[in-house]
Structure 1
Amino acid sequence: MKLIEISDMLGGRVTSGHDIEIDGACGVDDVKSGQITYLADLKLTTKLINSQASAVIIKRERHDIHIPQVVVSNPSHAFSKLLRMFYTKPFRATGVMNGAYISEGVTLGKDISIYPGVYISSGASIGDNTTIYPGVYIGENAIIGQNCLIYSNVSIREDVRIGNRVILQSGAVIGSDGFGYEMDGGRFIKIPQIGTVIIEDDVEIGANTTIDRATTGSTVIGAGTKIDNLVQIAHNVKIGKNSILIAQTGIAGSSSLGDYVVLAGQVGISDHIEIEAGTKVGAQSGVMENLKTGAYMGSPSLPHLQYKRSHILFTKLPELNDRINKLEKQLAELTKDINT
């Protein structure tokens, strides 16, 4: 594909080399001759100059970079378009393959692909153009929308509702029982978990992530939200639209997150917590009270600037302790001299 054709597709401007042929796209660390890369971080300029890249996608033209440049407003977004163009295989429906088990009363849409080893329980519904890979279990009356990708060994329990264009990575479990027990007579008695999970459109859920069904009502994942691997979402949690939850985050029961919330890796959210829209919580933070819109860090979580000041003081504690001990010793000596 000629560079000028790539530029036109991206809505960019070519600085030179309009007719050079580009046969692939790759990050700056691994790019080869004939491929195009992108520069989103100026720290990578030296790597780019020393690379074999035949062209680069860039935000502003650089005269110190002596390869053809495609100037666009958002290089990262433009590069993602090229990856889809060069490497995404066109969808081809395979139908229901031998070895898949489809129970009675299942509704199947048009142009679906269901691989061997899939088990779909009675009353379930699968939308058009959805692909279900080997080893997937779909429970009774579960509803899956159109253009979904469900990778191997996913479990979707009974009555779960999944929207359109949802991606479930391998090993995800949607609709497992919430962790609900009451003590009675010296032993724990299980509380029936009779609710469901609702996953709205354009959600992606990472590998081995678990989303528990509600005790009653629904656990809800809002449209456009992206969830990383190894995340635990407990019963009756409500997550807003276009939020980001990064690996090993855990959210306890009945907590509520607004739209555009970002939880970095290993964040822990206590139960019945409310986090306002647009809030960002740093890695390894512990949230034990409601948060208004802002940035937070630490455990227990503090506003970002307050946490930074507290952390600076914390690193100085050994020095401060030595000074206090020294002052106490001097005070004791002065007191002794006065008393004598």
Structure 2
Amino acid sequence: MTGPRAVKPSFTLKELSRLLDVPVQGDDTTRIDALATLKRAGPGNLSFLANPRYARQLADCQASALILHPDLASTVNVPCLLSSSPYVTYARASQLFAAVPDSGGERGDETPVHASAVISGSATLGNNVRVGPQAVIESGAIIGEGSRIGAGCVVGRDCRLGDNVTLYANVTLYHGVSLGDRCIIHSGAVIGADGFGFAFDGQRSVKIAQLGAVTIGDDVEVGAGSCIDRGALDDTVIEDGVKIDNQVQIGHNCVVGAHTVICGCSALAGSTRIGRYCVIGGGVGITGHLSICDKVSVSAMSMVTRTIDQPGVYSSGTLLQESSLWKRNAVTLSKLSGLSKRVQKLEQNLPE
């Protein structure tokens, strides 16, 4: 049996104008088949300028049309989609040009649920749900309309998935996980595994059963290989619109506020609370049981060890230097404590 075919999107500028809610300047019958960078665009391509540093590339760009700020529209001789936020318009356009499967295989015999999938009789699948090869959907699970369960996925007992959720291949949802509408979970992600909870009795670590679950809101995206642990008692909560990059660890009982972005290889220890509209850079470590307020940005490779209660940009760590200079500075840094004590003694002996 053949798989679903990829349908290559194609739009006129008039259609794109309506779909993206931006005006057209120039020939709105121009047909667009793909997006491309300014440097590599050719006939049939739509490109964009979001960063002024690339403005010099406009002169040589071969795109059939451009997404531009209205202030730059007079500088080019090709049709334009005019946007006050070209990068956001490009982001929305990219969704239109993503390849989508058609409704059936080449012979029209593609079935929505692959024959090798294992689905409990007590699971509920909404309309237009697709389930890939070797996927497992356990008892009591509910899958919303239009959702896609990729090959080798496991949807555990009593999970709840909203409408138009996409699980790419080999995603694992433990029991009781809840996903809102339009969530995207990339391959290898594990949601709902036990939180890292143990009590030491003097000789050994005694496991604390993790009795909570994971609740994820609408429009959340979770990157490949990321792990979100279930709560010990209360749920781990990921609010609407959160974007989580690849290989991120979120510990038990964490709460991540709406529209926060967490970049790759960051780790949140248990019971961390992050506010709304935060940006956590790549490789950031956040120790547990602290809070970060709304609209905080933490620079890459920083270590957060205290609560942050004021919006702003925060950084830690040592910036990259030539190795010999770094070594000299490291030696100096190791002597600061002694130097500080000497300064204090000198200050005590100064006349008033």
Cα contact 1:170–1:208 (8 A) shared by 2: yes
Kept in 1, the 8 Å contact 2:296–2:314? The answer is no
Q: Which residue of 2 aligns with 1:136?
A: 153
Deviation at 1:63, TM superposition (A): 4.3
Larger Rg: 1
Q: What is aligned with 1:249?
A: 266
CA contact (8 A) 1:61 1:71 kept: no
CA contact (8 A) 2:13 2:32 kept: yes
Q: Is residue 185–residue 224 contact of structure 2 (8 Å, CA) maintained in 1?
A: yes
Q: Is the 8 A contact 1:25 1:83 kept in 2?
A: yes
Q: Could you tell me how far 1:285 is from its partner in structure 2?
A: 1.1
Q: Indicate yes or no: 2:97 matched with 1:86.
A: yes
| Larger RCO, structure (CA 8 Å, separation 6 or more) | 2
After superposition, what is the alpha-carbon deviation per residue over 1:245-303, rounded to whole angstroms, capped at 9, x for unaligned? 111110000111111111111111111011111111111111111101322333379xx
Task: Give me the identity figure in percent.
Answer: 35
Counterpart CA distance in 1 for 2:255 and 2:29 is: 51
Letter in 2 for 1:259: R
Report which stretch shifted further, 33-42 or 102-111: 102-111
SS in 1 for 2:66: strand
CA distance in 2, matches of 1:77, 1:171: 29
Q: Structure 1: where are the runs of 5+ without partners? A: 302-306, 308-313, 322-340
1:49 aligns with 2:59: yes
Residue identity in the other structure for 1:23? D
Pick one of 193, 208, 211 that aligns with 2:225.
208
Aligned twin of 1:72 = 83
CA contact (8 A) 2:301 2:317 kept: no
Deviations 1:158-197 (A, max 9, x none): 1111111111111110001111112224222221112111
Asked whether the 8 Å contact 2:167–2:184 carries over to 1, the reply is yes
Task: Answer yes or no: is the 8 Å Cα contact 2:161–2:180 preserved in 1.
Answer: yes
Opposite residue 26 of structure 1, the aligned amino acid is A
Answer yes or no: is the 8 Å Cα contact 2:299–2:316 preserved in 1: no
Deviation, structure 1 residue 13: 4.2
> Which residue in the other structure is 1:333 paired with?
none
Cα distance in 2 for partners of 1:28, 1:206 equals 28
Cα distance in 1 for partners of 2:210, 2:24 equals: 58
Structure 2 gap segments, 5+ residues each: 1-10, 105-110, 320-325, 334-352
Query: Aligned partners of 1:196, 1:5: CA distance in 2, in Å?
Result: 43
Alignment match, 2:340: none
Q: Which region of structure 1 is more displaced relative to structure 2, 119-128 or 203-212?
A: 119-128
- TM-score under structure 2 length normalisation: 0.80
Of 34, 50, 64, the match for 2:44: 34
Instruction: State the alpha-carbon separation in 1 of the partners of residues 184 and 18 from structure 2.
Output: 30
**1: CA distance between counterparts of 2:115 and 2:281?**
42
Paired residues, number = 309
d(CA) in 1 for partners of 2:114 and 2:188?
21
Listed one character per residue, the Cα deviations across residues 13-48 of structure 1 (whole Å, up to 9, x for unaligned) are 444445443332222233122212000011112233
Q: Whole-Å Cα distance in 2 between the matches of residues 15 and 105 of structure 1? A: 55
**2: CA distance between counterparts of 1:316 and 1:58?**
49
Q: What is the rounded CA distance, in whole Å, between the counterparts of 2:43 and 2:201 in structure 1?
A: 70
| Cα distance change on mapping 1:245 and 1:19 into 2, 3 Å | same
1:293 & 1:158 partners in 2: Cα distance?
Answer: 37
TM-score (normalised: structure 1): 0.83
Residues 1-340 of structure 1 mapped to structure 2, 5 A cutoff: 1-59=11-69, 60-89=71-100, 92=103, 94-299=111-316
8 Å contact kept, 1:24–1:36: yes
Moved more, 39-48 or 266-275: 39-48
Seen in structure 2, the aligned counterparts of structure 1 residues 2 and 286 have a Cα distance that, compared at 3 Å, is same
Code of the residue aligned with 1:287 in structure 2: it is: V
Q: Secondary structure at the match of 1:96?
A: coil
